[in-house]
Amino acid sequence: MKVPPGVSASDFAEAIKQFEEAVGKEWVFTSDEDVAMYRDAYSPFMGEPEERVASAAVAPDGMEQVQKVVRIANRYKIPIYPVSTGKNLGYGGSAPVLSGSVVLDLKRMNRILEVNEANAYALVEPGVSYFDLYRYIQEKGLKLWVDVPDPGWGSPIGNALDRGGGYLMPQYRNHFDSHCGMEVVLANGEVLRTGMGALPGAQTWQQYKSGFGPWIDGMFSQSNFGVVTKMGFWLMPEPDAYLSGTVVVPRHDDLIPLVRILTYLEDTRVTNGMPDLGSPLLGIPMLSDFATRFESGGTPFERPLDPELSDLIAKGGGLATSALDGYAQRKGLGYWSCKLSFYGASKANAANWEFAREKFSEIPGVRFEEGENYKLPLTPEQREKVHKPQFGIPSLAMFSIGARSAMNPEPASGHMWFSPIIPRTGEAIFEANRVFAQAAKEFGLPFLSFNLPSTYWERAFIFIFAFPVTRDVEFNKRNRAAFNKLIQVAAEHGWGEYRTAPAFQDAIMNTYSYNNHALLHFHETVKDAIDPNGILSAGRYGIWPKHVREAKS
Amino acid sequence: MRHLAKAHEKGDGMKNATVGLLAALSLMLASTAFAAPDQEQIERGHKVYDKWCFPCHGTGVGKPGTDSLVARGQKPAVLEERTDLTVPAIKTFVRHGVLFMPMFRKTEVSDADLDAIAAYLTRNNKP
């Protein structure tokens, strides 16, 4: 049995014994076989000594048991690493940042404590998955939608704390922003509730977010300051109808007004679903194309370019040329497209789409394509055609991107995401492509010819690049090195990542260095004050406890 | 088990060892008579399968596990329709994962639930 760093074998044995008394012997895992199931299945260190692995796992079944485990861990200075469902694959998984930590597996805490239809909220424990919550709502016949990320097997709490996103209206799409109230066990075993939950007998814990005084909820996301044991979420009442329409513009430079007008329409809530960018010319599909691509057995990635087009790009020195614009016009292809989604009253959706068309009409040559128009709820046939998360339906379909297919006969065994936030302008999209294409060439990365950003957040774009993870150690080493270089390249241009896997958390936290790392120093001050033994998730998001910092220096 | 071995030809030593283990277990099982699981166990397995396996391995659009097996030429690709799966192979895949399928822990699928899944997926096997 592996022993946590800095802990004697006898102390660890005693702690394990006490964990068993706290949660029951069958819920403490110490055998190699059981502990191996807590490895990060997508670890970029798989098979290398640097792989971060657990020493044991403890699975409590309730907040009181979490308190007991935390107190025992404090007594013996055992590092523990809470995970909810452990499905943060590509950004971490279930393995600790500090090798040898004991994973605090919260999966057994899977109670849906309340779903309120009239006020559209839920209160859940960390082991509840999106599938669980969706099924519960369906079984009860409630007219509520859950904003789900692409993989539906994750935990609403875990995903929100890692600051994940989804696809519905903007106020739900940012999962941390859509939470309302937390219950947190601190490192000393004390439990607190945030927001209105601090008021005994509060009747509005899930209805008013900030309560009274400093609003500290953000401190428990992407951090290691407490173990969140309950969390409320605002759900989306099922709308009357869904409408989509696609805007197609003919020239390269039209991306700039396309984004500008889109941003205005989104910020004024004329369009309220996640916008979906694509390029008919370059074969870059929109997200909503994926479902139909999968159905037809095609690749979700960009299509191979017509040789004539490849030639034009190569000879003309890039994508912003009149020759390319001419080619697009000749072939009847738009250069860029953007699908708009509207959730709401059927007549209002039609009026909003009409207004959007008016606004986009300032772009010469723009054309519009009518899309889906569904009265909700969807029929079973309609459900099979759509990108399910855009209708609050959890799915695992997005894993088809990396799965074996005719176009991908030798799939990778995982992936890691490089996800910098860039400004929400067309100019920034061009600039980021220029910078990352140059970096990709330099570092030998097979990026697409052009990348369009994801539009989860209202006020910024995210570029999301997938790095494959394989069982080839040398390949993974090269990709880790390239990933680290991209972090630096992005930071030099004022772009920072929104989330990352443990392998890169220190490197990225180091780029958020304004005023000599003042923000990190604040995190460390808080960490030392509320977790003096440094037992909780040491190293998570670059925040290390004092004893580790001192040992490193 | 040949197709399994083939799928991992490019894997590393550890994976080849897993395949070897699987093959050995499979051969062992094939030569051993086993009692048919009872109906209650199969029904329990069906429920657990629907919760944990169907979203990836079921029928319909957007089931990456099924799509992946189709791409490998597996017929049938839907696990519920197979008659050649073995209990040790099912347990190994669930507990160890394969390619982009991660391992499933005992707090997700208990040993008893895994026994039930195995009973369900082998219900149509010829003894």
CA dist., res. A287 & res. A291, Å (int): 8
Phi, psi at residue A465, to the nearest 5°?
-110, 135
Which SS3 state, helix, strand or coil, does residue A43 take?
coil
A94-132 burial, b at 16+ Cβ within 10 Å, e below that, comes to bbbbbbbbbbbbbbbbbebeebeeeebbbbbbbbbbbbb
Work out the number of other CB atoms within 10 angstroms of the CB of residue A530: 16
10 Å CB burial of residue A231 (0-12, 13-18, 19+) is buried
Residue A338 belongs to a domain: yes
Q: Examine the pLDDT at B11 and tell me if it is beyond 60.
A: no
Say how far apart CA A33 and CA A30 lie, in whole Å: 8
Determine, for residues A89 and B105 on separate chains, whether the beta-carbon distance falls below 8 Å. no
Residues of chain A falling short of pLDDT 70: 290-303, 447-449
Are A85 and A151 within one domain?
no
| More confident of the two residues B6 and A457 | A457
| pLDDT tops 60 at residue B31 | no
Chain B residue numbers with beta carbons less than 8 Å from the beta carbon of A471 are: 11-12, 14-15
> Which residue in A198, A192, A179, A64 sits closest to A122, CA to CA?
A179
Instruction: Report which of A62, A152, A158 is spatially closest to residue A393, judged by C-alpha positions.
Output: A152
Do B31 and B94 contact (CB within 8 A), yes or no? no
pLDDT for res A322? 85
Query: Scanning every residue of chain A, which has its alpha carbon at the shortest distance from the alpha carbon of B14?
Result: A47
Looking at A511, A526, A546, the residue that finishes a domain is A511
Tokens of B123: 């219900």
In 3D space, the residue among B56, B67, B119, B52 whose CA is nearest the CA of residue B90 turns out to be B119
Please tell me the predicted confidence (pLDDT) of residue A303. 61
Same-domain check for residues A223 and A280: no
Tell me which amino acid residue B60 is.
G
Q: Which of A384, A403, A472 sits opposite B60 (nearest CB)?
A: A384
Q: State which H helix or E strand residue A310 sits in.
A: helix A307-316
CA-to-CA dists, residue B16 to A331, A424, A475, B19, B22, angstroms: 50, 47, 19, 5, 10
Domain at A77, CATH number = 3.30.43.10
> Is residue B16 pLDDT above 70, yes or no?
no
- Residue B103 has what DSSP assignment? P
Q: In 3D, which of A384, A411, A297 has the Cα closest to residue B59?
A: A384
pLDDT score recorded for residue A447 = 66
Q: Tell me what pLDDT residue B6 has.
A: 30
Q: Which CB contacts under 8 angstroms, 24+ apart, belong to A530-533?
A: A530/A186, A530/A187, A530/A188, A530/A225, A530/A226, A531/A186, A531/A187, A531/A224, A531/A225, A532/A187, A533/A74, A533/A77, A533/A187
In angstroms, the CA B85 to CA B88 distance is: 9
Is residue A181 within 8 Å of A193, Cβ to Cβ?
A: yes
Instruction: For residues B80 and B77, give the distance between their C-alpha atoms in angstroms, rounded to a whole number.
Output: 9
Q: List the CATH code of the domain at B35-121.
A: 1.10.760.10
- Residues in chain B with CB shorter than 8 Å from the CB of A404 are 67-68, 71-72, 99
Domain-ending residue, one of A511, A527, A544: A511
Task: Name chain B contacts of A47, Cβ cutoff 8 Å.
Answer: 12, 14
Whether the full predicted model's pTM is greater than 0.90, yes or no, is yes
B72:A404 CB<8 A: yes
| Residue at which a domain ends, from A107, A127, A158 | A107
Contacts of B60 in chain A (CB under 8 A): 384
The answer to whether residues A96 and A147 belong to one domain is no
Query: Does residue A134 sit in the same domain as residue A154?
Result: yes
Note whether A425 and A493 are same-domain residues: yes
Which of B18, B63, B101, B105 to probe the A interface (max A CBs under 10 A)?
B105
B14 to chain A nearest CA, in Å? 9
Distance CA A482, CA A485 (A): 5
Residues A477 and A501 reside in one and the same domain: yes
Give the domain CATH number at A463.
3.40.462.10
- Structure confidence at residue B33 (pLDDT): 44
Q: By three-state DSSP, how is residue A80 classified?
A: strand
Long-range CB contact pairs, A488-496, < 8 A, 24+ = A489/A435, A489/A436, A489/A439, A490/A420, A490/A435, A493/A431, A493/A432, A493/A435, A495/A420, A495/A421, A495/A422, A495/A432, A496/A420, A496/A421
CB contacts of A139 in chain B (<8 Å) are none
Q: Environment class of residue A341 by beta-carbon count within 10 Å: exposed (0-12), middle (13-18) or buried (19+)?
A: buried
Does residue A165 lie within any of the structural domains?
yes
* Whether residues A432 and A460 fall in one domain: yes
A92 shares a domain with A68? yes
- Residues 6 or more apart whose CB falls under 8 angstroms from that of A540 comprise A81, A97, A222, A223, A224, A502, A505
ipTM (interface pTM): 0.92
Q: Based on the domain organization, do A85 and A177 belong to the same domain?
A: no
**Tally of domains within chain A:** 4
CATH of the domain at A232: 3.30.465.10
Judge whether A186 and A219 are in contact, CB under 8 Å: no
**Can you tell me the distance from the alpha carbon of A412 to that of A470, in angstroms, rounded to the nearest whole number?**
5
Q: What are phi and psi of A432, to 5 degrees?
A: -65, -40
Binary contact (B100, A406; C-beta < 8 A): no
Mark yes or no for CB contact A294/B12 under 8 Å: no
For residue range B80-121, what is the model confidence (pLDDT) as tens digits? 999 999 999 999 999 999 989 999 999 999 999 999 999 999
Contact B100 A399 (CB under 8 A): yes
Give yes or no: residues A31 and A142 share one domain: no
User: Mapping DSSP to helix (H, G, I), strand (E, B) and coil, where does residue A361 land?
Assistant: coil
Give Cα A224 distance to the centre of its chain: 18
pLDDT value at B21 more than 50? no
Residue A292's pLDDT is: 57
Q: Note whether B73 contacts A: Cβ–Cβ < 8 A.
A: no
Partners of B54 on chain A (C-beta within 8 Å) are none
* 3-state secondary structure at position B122: coil
* Cα gap A260→A256, rounded to integer Å: 6
pLDDT reported for residue B49: 97
Q: With CB atoms and an 8 Å threshold, state whether A403 touches B104.
A: no
The confidence band for B27, taking pLDDT boundaries of 50, 70 and 90, is: very low
Statement: residue B25 has pLDDT above 60: no
A169 and A202 inside one domain: yes
**pLDDT reading at B2 higher than 60:** no
Within 114-143 of A, beta carbons closer than 8 Å to B belong to 127, 131
Q: Given A89, A294, A413, which is nearest B67 (Cβ)?
A: A294
The residue behind tokens 């016009």 is A329
Three-state secondary structure of A452-464: CCECCCCCEEECC
Domain of A308 in residue numbering reads as 241-260+273-351+369-376
> What is the CB neighbour count within 10 angstroms for residue A37?
25
Query: Is the CB of A85 less than 8 angstroms away from the CB of B108?
Result: yes
Q: Are residues A20 and A96 in the same domain?
A: yes
Contact call for B64 and A397, based on CB within 8 A:
yes
Q: Which amino acid is at A330?
A: R
